[in-house]
């Protein structure tokens, strides 16, 4: 008499193959979600950098004061009732940039840096380098922009 149907071994092998396939699909889904999260964080970082770039361009007369090390926030802040100087506004902008970055990317690894690179010759221009580093879903991430000035007239 011939036996019909599946044996227990065949059923277990089929379950093993199905489980392996499901694990692969789950791993692919998780990897996709991590990449999506990294992309969202990178887009938020670029938006923050773009905003800081616009702040520097709006107050370019105080460009050297945007360097993170030289920025000291005024005690009174800047408001319509008590306007501040261009240097104070630069300090407020740098403090806002650091606070916003810490809010968007919580964690000890989040760091902001604003550097002023003066022109090295008559054909060169001043440059502001704005960078942001944070820890993403898998690894450290970073983004940076440069704000050049028009060339110095020689």
* pLDDT tens digit sequence for 12-47: 999 999 999 999 999 999 999 999 999 999 999 999
Residue 141: which of 150, 154, 131 has the closest Cα? 131
What average pLDDT does this structure show over 128-146?
A: 88
Task: For residue 131, give every residue at least 6 positions away whose Cβ sits within 8 Å of its Cβ, in sequence order, or none.
Answer: 49, 112, 113, 114, 115, 142, 143, 144, 145
Write out pLDDT tens, residues 53-98. Answer: 999 888 888 888 888 766 566 666 676 667 788 888 888 899 899 9
Q: Residue 125 pLDDT more than 90?
A: no
Residue 114 β-bridge partners: 130
Look at 111 and 2; give whichever has higher pLDDT: 111
Question: Ranked by mean pLDDT, which of 2-11, 99-108, 113-122 comes out on top?
Answer: 99-108
At residue 50, the pLDDT reads: 94
Structure tokens that stand for 52 in this block: 């800081």
């Amino acid at each position: 008499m011939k036996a019909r149907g599946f044996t227990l071994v065949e059923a277990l092998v089929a379950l093993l193959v199905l489980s392996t396939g499901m694990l692969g699909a789950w791993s692919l889904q998780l990897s996709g979600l991590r990449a999506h999260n990294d992309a969202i964080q990178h887009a938020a970082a670029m938006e923050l950098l773009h905003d800081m770039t616009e702040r520097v361009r709006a107050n370019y007369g105080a460009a050297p004061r945007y360097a993170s090390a030289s920025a000291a926030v005024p005690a009174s802040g800047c408001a319509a009732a008590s306007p501040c100087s261009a240097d104070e506004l630069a300090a407020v902008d740098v403090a806002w940039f650091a606070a916003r970055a810490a809010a968007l990317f919580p964690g000890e690894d989040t760091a902001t840096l604003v550097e002023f690179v003066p022109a090295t010759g008559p054909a060169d221009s001043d440059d502001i380098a704005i960078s942001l580093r944070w820890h993403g879903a898998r690894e450290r991430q970073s983004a940076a922009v440069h704000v050049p000035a028009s060339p110095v007239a020689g």
